[in-house]
Amino acid sequence: MKNFIFLCSLLILLPSIIFSQDDELTWPREIETKEGLVTIYQPQIDSFSEDTLQGRMAISIKPAEGEMIFCAAWIKAGMSTDLDERTVTLESIDIPKVHFPDMDDESKITQLKNFLEKEIESWDVVMSLDRLLASLDEAEGMQSQSEQLNNDPPEIYFRTLPTTLISIDGDPIIKKIENSNLEYVVNTPFFIVKEENKKPHYIMGGKFWYVSDEILGDWNETENVPADIVKLAEENIEEGEPDSISASITEAPALIVVTKPAELVVTDGEPDYASIEGTSLLYAKNSENDIIMDINNQNHYILLAGRWYQSKSLKDGDWKFCEPENLPEDFTKIPEESDMASVRASIPGTPEAQDALLEQSIPQTATVNRSEAKVEVTYDGNPEFKKVEGTEVAYAANTDKTVLRIKDTYYCVDDAIWFVSDHATGPWVVSDVRPDEVDDLPPSSEVYNVKYVYIYDSTPEVVYVGYYPGYTYSYVYGGVVVYGTGYYYNPWYGHYYYPRPVTWGFGVHWNPWTGWGFSFGFSYGWVGWRFHPHRGWWGPRGYRHGYRHGYYRGYRHGARAGYRAGYRAGQRSSSRNVYRNRSSGVRTGDVKRSQQARSTNTRARASTKPNNMYTDKKGNVYQKNQSGSWDQKSNKKTSQGTGQKSSTTQTKSSVSKNQSKQLDRSANNRSRGNTNYNRSRSSSSSRSSGRSGGGRRR
């Protein structure tokens, strides 16, 4: 009974233990009092659905006097996330069960359980997202289903000289610039301008000017540019510091202007192949693109938007989509330290691919204040709705917002928040209902991404919302993560031009430490934002120019090695969390559904103990010993003979082979999560020190 009273007195402090967060988000965490030391080990996740998580955690208690006590506590919690900070807060935690191995006094267990249920609503647990993701590998129902995407190849251009791809969204649309004699191409993010009633067109890219009589014709470098066009460029093209490589370029890259979905693959001269250690694969070391050749079948493979395409030839190749499961076996053998390690996330079955899949299951959450969150919807003329075939959903074609009509009710999804109105023109209020009909939207629909925006809960004042990566066009196919649906969506053009989501033409590339990165294969100064009225719509969501820090030349042996540092310490796009784009009404990273005050009279600290204690689903507690095998912890009292006191048996030597296998899996996942966490911390340090990362190989 003495130990039980002591245990209850320590557990009174657990709200502050769980709440307290050390700067390193280190596990285990501990608190020391005059009564003894409580150590809480990293939670193990059993299941995860929407924003509710369930799992277990091991706890050890070392009284000031007496032997160590071990227990397992089951947790069920709401989850709020901050993907920018890569943290997860478990809140409104419920403790449905507590188990003390080999302790038979049910009245004590019941008393303790009742105590925890009474106090638990004020608890928080802050975790590293990277550690949580790794632990989700063991959770039930985490197998990602493939989307029904369009994986047909775009037009693929291969060049061996410096080249830039200029994408136009369909046939060029020319529009006059007010109060000038100039015209520009509306349906492209590039600076393409001409004088009214004159033929020459001009493109500015970085420090180079190009001229052509026909937009789809041959473009040549020029220094003879009309003064009013030069002035327009100076006023509308963002300035930026060129990196050392782009600054050293002395020759203007060639241009390829396209009006259909296309991608560009470039090598610096003829492909220069090097072997990938331990495989029959070669890679082109003089290219920013991911180009691999399999010696066995003589096929070339290129990675575009997370998808693999194969052809016997790079030049004028007959490219075909390669199902991820049909990649040559040697792809899985690409070493983690290889210059081509970045492609492992696009190879099914690798740890990198698994981490990417798990991240697809984590929503970004936010709290929306009903009275503050606003949206304004304008139409190019009267509202025009198009029905999505096979559904009860129609969408507005002539607006830059996503507006749906479902059963005479109108919904607008803006920055991953649902709004609702009785009229297409508003007024709009924050919705606490997500219409079920959006689940029927097919990937071929322009508004497919809104099915990934959810509403979890609400009060009269706020609505709890969240979105999955599918909202920002990241999807699962064949055991890997890909970008975009692959479908081409027709834009709207009336008085205004409204683009639609795109998959191709922007050099999209996945990086576990940077997310999706976007590049045109050139440096600063190519995009003229300011005279385009809908800046945020251009290209893929999350685009930031300069991802690759300019057009790379002068490839050298070992040049890709520098990418590994960026691969591990890169920056994630600052627009990864779309809720941060809103000026009011939204809070992220500090969502609190429980309004009760938390005890802060005692703070937890990072423990110096190894993070090596686990529980199984029965509540038994295990610890990995120095030999790599497992000790099962026990609270059973054993007699030491006549006249001697009882003592606690600390370990059991027998751990079944199957149990050992499960524990090894948990330990490996925890180790992987710790490694990923440290790499993310390195990324954060790079950002705070002003160093940019996440670039492609140099």
Asked if the model's pLDDT at residue 687 lies above 60, the reply is no
- Give CA separation, 387 vs 40, 393, 405, 437, 484, in Å: 54, 6, 9, 13, 22
Between 694 and 59, name the one with better pLDDT: 59
What torsion do the CA atoms of 580, 582, 585, 589 make, to the nearest 10 degrees? Answer: 0
**Residue 258: predicted pLDDT:** 95
* pLDDT mean over 268-283: 95
Do both 34 and 155 map to the same domain? no
Between 25 and 666, name the one with better pLDDT: 666
**Residue 445: predicted pLDDT:** 96
- Give CA separation, 244 vs 55, 247, 248, 404, 552, in Å: 49, 5, 6, 47, 10
What kind and span of H or E run contains 683?
A: helix 657-688
* pLDDT mean over 158-175: 92
Tokens found for residue 350: 């690798």
Is 463 a member of any domain?
A: yes
**Sign of the dihedral through C-alpha 308, 537, 687, 366:** negative
pLDDT tens readout for residues 526-536 = 655 555 554 44
Among 467, 495, 514, give the residue marking a domain's end: 467
**Residue 90: predicted pLDDT:** 83
pLDDT tens readout for residues 98-141 = 888 887 767 766 765 665 555 545 566 788 888 888 888 887 76
Is 129 a member of any domain?
A: yes
Asked if the model's pLDDT at residue 560 lies above 60, the reply is no
Q: How far apart are CA 273 and CA 267, in angstroms?
A: 11
Asked if the model's pLDDT at residue 4 lies above 50, the reply is yes
Range list of β-strands (E), 358-488 = 364-369, 385-387, 393-396, 402-406, 409-414, 417-421, 429-430, 453-458, 462-467, 474-477, 480-483
Do both 130 and 209 map to the same domain? no
Average pLDDT, the chain: 80
Is 694 a member of any domain?
A: no
Is 437 a member of any domain?
A: yes
pLDDT band, very low/low/confident/very high, at 182 (cuts 50, 70, 90): very high
Asked if the model's pLDDT at residue 158 lies above 70, the reply is yes
**Residue 528: predicted pLDDT:** 54
The answer to whether residues 651 and 634 touch, using CB atoms and an 8 Å cutoff, is yes
Do both 343 and 388 map to the same domain? no
Ramachandran angles phi, psi of 18, nearest 5°: -65, -40
Do both 339 and 379 map to the same domain? no
Is 432 a member of any domain?
A: yes
Is 424 a member of any domain?
A: yes
Instruction: Please enumerate in sequence order all residues whose Cβ is within 8 A of that of 323, keeping only pairs 6 or more positions apart, or say none.
Output: 478
Any idea what DSSP says for residue 20? -
**Residue 443: predicted pLDDT:** 96
Instruction: Give SS3 for 138.
Output: helix
Among 440, 467, 494, give the residue marking a domain's end: 467
Tell me the pTM: 0.83
**Sign of the dihedral through C-alpha 406, 410, 416, 417:** negative
Do both 492 and 433 map to the same domain? no
Least confident of 126-140, 153-167, 349-363, 422-436: 126-140
Do both 224 and 313 map to the same domain? yes
pLDDT tens readout for residues 76-103 = 888 888 887 888 888 878 888 888 888 7
Least confident of 132-141, 250-259, 417-426, 498-507: 132-141
**Residue 530: predicted pLDDT:** 54
**Residue 427: predicted pLDDT:** 96
Q: How far apart are CA 636 and CA 627, in angstroms?
A: 24
Asked if the model's pLDDT at residue 625 lies above 80, the reply is yes
Among 422, 438, 467, give the residue marking a domain's end: 467
Asked if the model's pLDDT at residue 570 lies above 50, the reply is no
Do both 332 and 296 map to the same domain? yes
**Residue 486: predicted pLDDT:** 96
Range list of β-strands (E), 287-408 = 291-294, 299-304, 307-311, 320-322, 364-369, 385-387, 393-396, 402-406
Q: How far apart are CA 640 and CA 647, in angstroms?
A: 8
Asked if the model's pLDDT at residue 249 lies above 80, the reply is no
**Residue 82: predicted pLDDT:** 84
Is 101 a member of any domain?
A: yes
Closest CA to 259 of 485, 443, 490, 482: 490
Asked if the model's pLDDT at residue 446 lies above 70, the reply is yes
Tokens found for residue 178: 């007010």
User: ∠ at Cα 624 (619, 625), nearest 5°?
Assistant: 135
- Give CA separation, 180 vs 183, 196, 204, 231, in Å: 8, 9, 19, 12
Any idea what DSSP says for residue 671? H
Do both 370 and 501 map to the same domain? no
**Residue 69: predicted pLDDT:** 80
**Residue 193: predicted pLDDT:** 94
Q: Structural domain tally of the chain?
A: 3
Ramachandran angles phi, psi of 499, nearest 5°: -70, 170
Closest CA to 518 of 477, 547, 539: 547
Any idea what DSSP says for residue 89? E
The answer to whether residues 166 and 203 touch, using CB atoms and an 8 Å cutoff, is yes
The answer to whether residues 125 and 93 touch, using CB atoms and an 8 Å cutoff, is yes
**Residue 79: predicted pLDDT:** 84
**Residue 696: predicted pLDDT:** 34
Do both 503 and 420 map to the same domain? no
Instruction: Please enumerate in sequence order all residues whose Cβ is within 8 A of that of 329, keeping only pairs 6 or more positions apart, or say none.
Output: none
Do both 49 and 180 map to the same domain? no
**Residue 7: predicted pLDDT:** 56
Do both 523 and 643 map to the same domain? no
**Sign of the dihedral through C-alpha 102, 105, 106, 108:** negative
**Residue 10: predicted pLDDT:** 55
Asked if the model's pLDDT at residue 676 lies above 90, the reply is no
pLDDT band, very low/low/confident/very high, at 564 (cuts 50, 70, 90): very low
**Residue 87: predicted pLDDT:** 86
Q: How far apart are CA 522 and CA 552, in angstroms?
A: 8
pLDDT band, very low/low/confident/very high, at 240 (cuts 50, 70, 90): low
- Left, alpha or beta for 234 (phi > 0: left; psi -120 to 50: alpha)? alpha
* pLDDT mean over 407-427: 95
Do both 161 and 285 map to the same domain? yes
- The domain of 181 spans 145-357+485-540
Is 698 a member of any domain?
A: no
pLDDT band, very low/low/confident/very high, at 13 (cuts 50, 70, 90): low
Asked if the model's pLDDT at residue 201 lies above 80, the reply is yes
